A and B are shown apart, each in its own frame.
Chain A
Amino acid sequence: MNTLPVKTFQDYIPIYDGDRYCLMCRHVCPVERVTKREATTPHGWALLIASVIRGSLQWDADTVDTLYQCSDCASCQANCATDRPLPAALKAARAEVVRLGKQPASVNEIDRKLREWGNPYGSLPASTVSQVRSDVGLYVGATAQFLRPQAITAAQKLLGATGIQSVVLGAGRSSGYLPYALGLWDVARDLARQTMDEIVSSGVREVITLTAEDAHALKHVYYELGLMPPREVRVIQIAEYLAPQVAQGQLKIRPLEMQAATYHDPCHALALPDHASAARQLIIALTGRAPREMLWREKRAAPCGATGGLEFTQPWLATAMAKKRLDGAREIGVGIVLTDDPHCVSHLAQHADGLRVQNLIEMLAEQVE
């Protein structure tokens, strides 16, 4: 398998140095909006790392904990006029922390589970191995398999309605994004290689993912890990795949009467430029109207806390971010939060407290003609 050069902690020193005093993306940092800590802002993290490099701080329980509070949403880079790759640089810093053996115990626990199960949730069910042959693969990954299996059935139904019988790929196995985000890059590469091997051996030409995170991993992150995904295979997230099908009339959706809803742009959707528009087109197809928008949307979208491994390393922060996201929905007076990411649905639903959190893909599947 071909490999590419990997940018390391040392390579990112100019980014830490350059960004440590830049405050221009503070306003879009969802972590800062929760913690209000100056240290947990993009410039705070950059300054922290640069200070460790200079010897004025050390990697210890305090600094490592602070480093692992970044939610890895990449909103800072998406809103940076000069496209500074701070999110990748922060993950390289976590990889350095892991290399030094200074990572939190929670990261060690995830490491163990990923090595044992290929995911952080449990052993793989035997029945997930697909026997179908097709040009199209439905990449399931870990979160849908374990947290929202109905999303898989819904996606298969929708794809079936467009005449596609898809091969199930990666059922129950992490794409490698989670360990990549946590600095566990060896594990991330192993999982990525398994995923790529499965894609190649399946013979598919197109991979449709259920999460934006997995599409981002397959399209972009594998390169950052030094791997070369098969170029002849197109990767697309399911909302991006379905929206043109609906627009062209190949997928017909029965309109659904429902109360006002908003839309949560899934975590990592910022990495997929067409996603925000595609998802909103699907909502219009389903409900006959555009979603009522929250303040933090599209390019300035806030994650729900399901990113960056926060559920495992900083569960209090993951919860607080989910509640903040749901408060955003309450502020605009809606009772329903739609999203198309099974992980986000699962995470938000745990904290919904009177709101309905629904998977757009599952709702579309119920309304497909």
Chain B
Amino acid sequence: MQLRGLEYDMVLSELADAVGEEHVSTRASDKLVYATDWSWMPQMWLDRGEEAPSPDFIVHPGSAEEIARVLQIANTYRVPVVTWGGGSGTQGGAIPIFGGIVLDVKRLDKIINISEQSLTVTAQAGVIGEVLEYTLNERGLTMPNYAASANCATLGGYIAARGSGVISTKYGKVEDLVMSMQVVLPDGTIIRTPPVPKHASGPPYAGLFVGSEGTFGVITEATFQIERLPETRLFRGILFEDLHNALEAGRQIMLARLQPTVLRLYDEASTTSLVKRVLNLDLKGAFLNVIFDGFEDIATPQFNRALKICADLGGRDLGEHSAKEWWEHRYDFYYPPLGLSLPKMYGTLETVTTFDHIEPLYWAKKKAIEEGFAEWNTHYIAHFSHWFPWGVMVYDRFIIDNPPQDAHEALKLHNRLWNVALRTSLAHGGVLNEHHGVGLKLGRMMREQYGPAFPLIEGIKRVFDPRGIMNPGKQGFSL
């Protein structure tokens, strides 16, 4: 839905009036860069010279009030609005597939308040995660959402994608850290959610915005729980002969209600590929990083108990070097040329399930991908990195080194593979996704996951956004 003629000029002039002419762009150089986020589909699309999904306008509002005016304009003309934070999503959630307005929130970049008394921080949605972290670190504080995308993702994006970070096992996902939000609703109403997240003042309505990917409103400000930087961090690399015992070690650690900061378990295929390539560790088996942090006299006994569990299950103690190396280089996996990139086809299929389902799920997906797509010599690798008291997330990926060159054929194969992977996850007690979100990529499967509940979800969406302007085509919601 590209706007034309009088309607285009009317919208453009009203947007300029709302946010200032200098904060509205129709430049080709801007349109191009907003045509892709960090997901494979639009990157491939651009790479192969196909016409990119392109916004009509890029708008940089400076306040919630300006966002409200933009949404009112969008409602008047029924123009799609895609909220853009850092563009680091991997699910195509920020791709303006129907054109319209890209609402870049990065001008909302103020850190409003840091409370050392309550250990909270309030900041605007456009603050880059790592910039907040630098700021907190100056005071000996940290926001324990160590997302791999922290260098580029915004705080609003953390919430909108319901993201997570490498120390979530101890400190929780972003939904555990966010306390309250300011949100601009699609009709321009500005609301604040209750000031604390734990209460009995009705259901957790605020939770609707967490993971909503800009379909219910625009998050403009949030308060998060933060922590003091830990007194100590304890590191140990453990090598298991196979994945089974390694998973069992993780399960026992979690069921013992120990509080590991990191349990990062690489399957055999990842250990011999990723771990070797990035960390230069030549290991065979399933490599588990164990990290505990906090006060030394509290963390150390827990750490030792976890190591004993690993030893009892046959884990070989590699000392602290390998685990420290991983910690120091934990984000290096995503830098070129170490990260996955075109011309390969790849995707992170990750999901989460309970301990009793995780191993069957892993093997079923590995079989479905490697055998089901054997003609493409498809690799399947995985690590297990976000552990819960009841289960674990598997960060599994597929890689095809030589996919079809034709963009349309490549997309067809990509979607077919994803369908198989997602249905295998659902059939084995998993969900569509654990922390990357749904976006464009998985939207078509929302109906399958939620079944008869999905029309109800669509009904909720219609209440918030009756004209369907907010990020249409994502999360299974129509235009």
Contact = CB atoms under 8 A, between A and B. Distances in A.
A, B co-complexed: yes
A3 B407 CA distance: 44
Interface in B417-456: none
Contacts of B32: 39, 47-48, 51, 56-57
Contacts of B234: none
Interface string B325-337: 0000101101111
A343 interface: no
Nearest to B62: A36
Contacts of A63: 28-29
A36 B28 contact: no
B140 to A, nearest CB: 14
Contacts of A18: 336-337, 341
Contacts of B30: 37-39
A365 B95 CA distance: 57
Interface stretch (B81-89, B305-313, B344-352): B81-89
Nearest to B149: A23
Interface residues of B, number: 48
A24 to B, nearest CB: 5
B106 interface: yes
A26 B151 contact: yes
A93 to B, nearest CB: 13
Contact of B134 (A26, A60, A84, A295): A295
Contacts of B457: none
Interface string A151-180: 000000000000000000000000000000
A26 B46 CA distance: 21
A27 B106 CA distance: 11
Given A51-B32, A62-B27, A27 B49 contact: no
Q: Is the interface of A mostly helix, strand, loop or mixed?
A: helix
B60 interface: yes
A28 B130 CA distance: 9
Nearest to A32: B106
Contacts of A249: none
B56 interface: no
Given A36-B106, A38-B33, A23 B38 contact: yes
A300 interface: yes
A317 to B, nearest CB: 13
B7 interface: no
B332 A82 contact: yes
B357 interface: no
B335 A80 contact: yes
Contacts of A22: 334-336, 339
Interface in A48-69: 48, 51, 54-57, 60, 62-63, 66
A81 interface: yes
Contact of A81 (B36, B152, B331): B331
Interface in B244-273: none
Nearest to A82: B335
Contacts of B34: 38
Contacts of B29: 39, 44, 48, 57, 62-63, 66
Interface in B123-139: 126, 128-131, 134-135, 138
A37 B58 CA distance: 9
A331 B395 CA distance: 41
B377 interface: no
A21 interface: yes
A340 interface: no
A25 interface: yes
Interface string B283-296: 00000000000000
B238 to A, nearest CB: 25
Nearest to A296: B134
Given A24-B151, A62-B29, A66-B29, A54 B337 contact: no
A82 B337 contact: yes
A189 B331 CA distance: 39
Contacts of B337: 18, 82
A45 to B, nearest CB: 9
A51 B46 contact: yes
Interface centre among A24, A80, A295 (most CB of B within 10 A): A24
B87 A23 contact: yes
Nearest to A51: B32
A22 B134 CA distance: 21
A12 to B, nearest CB: 13
A292 to B, nearest CB: 11
Contacts of B33: 38-39, 43-44, 47-48
A284 B87 CA distance: 42
Contacts of B460: none
A27 B151 contact: yes
A27 B128 contact: yes
A60 B109 CA distance: 31
B151 A25 contact: yes
Nearest to B40: A21
B112 interface: no
Interface string A309-342: 0000000000000000000000000000000000
Contacts of B341: 18, 21
B104 interface: yes
Contacts of B52: 56
Interface string B216-233: 000000000000000000
Contacts of A24: 151-152, 331, 334-335
B128 A26 contact: yes
A82 B28 contact: no
B78 interface: no
A366 B310 CA distance: 65
A57 B339 CA distance: 26
A37 B29 CA distance: 10
Contacts of B131: 27
A37 to B, nearest CB: 6
B63 interface: no
Interface in B316-330: 329
A21 B36 contact: yes
Contacts of A60: 28
A240 interface: no
Contacts of A66: 27, 29
B46 A82 contact: no
Interface in B41-84: 43, 46-47, 49, 52, 58, 60, 84
B172 to A, nearest CB: 23
A19 interface: yes
Contact of B130 (A27, A51, A56, A81): A27
Interface centre among B29, B135, B150 (most CB of A within 10 A): B29
B338 interface: yes
B152 A23 contact: yes
Contacts of B126: 36
B291 to A, nearest CB: 19
Contacts of A43: 33
9 contacts: A22-B339, A23-B86, A23-B88, A24-B151, A27-B152, A38-B30, A47-B33, A62-B27, A300-B134
Given A36-B60, A36-B106, 14 more contacts: A23-B86, A23-B152, A24-B335, A26-B86, A26-B128, A27-B131, A28-B151, A36-B107, A39-B32, A43-B33, A47-B32, A48-B33, A56-B46, A82-B338
Report the 5 A-B pairs with minimum CB-CB distance, sorted nearest first: A23-B152, A18-B336, A81-B332, A36-B106, A26-B152
Interface of A: 18-19, 21-28, 32-33, 36-39, 43-44, 47-48, 51, 54-57, 60, 62-63, 66, 80-82, 84, 295, 300
